[in-house]
A = this chain, B = another copy of it.
Amino acid sequence: MTARRTGRRPGNPDTRDAILAAARTAFAERGFDAASIRAIATTAGVDPALVHHYFRTKEELFRATVAIPIDPAELLPRVLAGGRDEVGARLVRTFLGVWDSPVGTAAVALLRSAVSNQWTARLLREFLTTQILRRVLDQLDLDPAEAPLRGSLVSTQLAGLAMMRYVIRLEPVASATPDTLVATIGPTLQRYLTGPLDQS
């Protein structure tokens, strides 16, 4: 099947934008797993090869739609290396490392957009689920019946940390050192990931 052409050529910035717009719609409407490069190319009016020319992989295209300049596939092995007993602390430290860096500005913008825009919210949800949580949960060898709840509990704590530290700027969390936050919030993530879930 040949994709519909609209005269867009490689190297044309409009082409890249058209692919991104089509991808954003596809990922938000169908989710990361169900969206196909072929369908995105068809919507954008380009050949699938051109999508791969601009964005090497489906993951890379997805990261571009949410404007996230980090690659979880590179960061997460650091979090997961060194055994599961310290994964909570390492997750907080890695998270703060990203948000405290220049990349944090883009992350704050994404969070703002996700809260005010249903489509960005869907994209962020897909990003969290398929690019971050799935990878962490797979590596920790958790009970599949509990893994989704554990992952979403981790998300609540990290999203709230980002919100209060970087957006609302509530003190003293806004100016706390990474060490303080690792020591206080690390055990929470550790319990959500590997501890007993029901402590009632």
Asked if B187 and A191 sit within 8 Å, CB to CB, the answer is yes
- Counting CB contacts under 8 A, is A81 at the interface? no
Asked if A184 and B116 sit within 8 Å, CB to CB, the answer is no
Q: Which of A113-145 contact B (CB under 8 A)?
A: 114-116, 121, 124-125, 128-129
Q: A185: shortest Cβ distance to chain B, in Å?
A: 7
- Counting CB contacts under 8 A, is A163 at the interface? yes
A167: chain B residues at CB < 8 Å are 114-115, 121
Q: Mark A154-190, 1 if CB is under 8 A from B, else 0.
A: 0111111101110111111110100010111111100
Size of the chain A interface, CB-CB below 8 angstroms: 48
Q: A94: shortest Cβ distance to chain B, in Å?
A: 16
Asked if B172 and A152 sit within 8 Å, CB to CB, the answer is yes
Asked if B149 and A170 sit within 8 Å, CB to CB, the answer is no
A191: chain B residues at CB < 8 Å are 187-188
Apart from A152-B172, A157-B160, A186-B199: 15 A-B pairs, beta carbons within 8 A: A89-B200, A114-B168, A115-B115, A115-B167, A115-B168, A149-B176, A152-B173, A156-B161, A160-B160, A163-B163, A183-B197, A184-B199, A187-B199, A188-B188, A188-B191
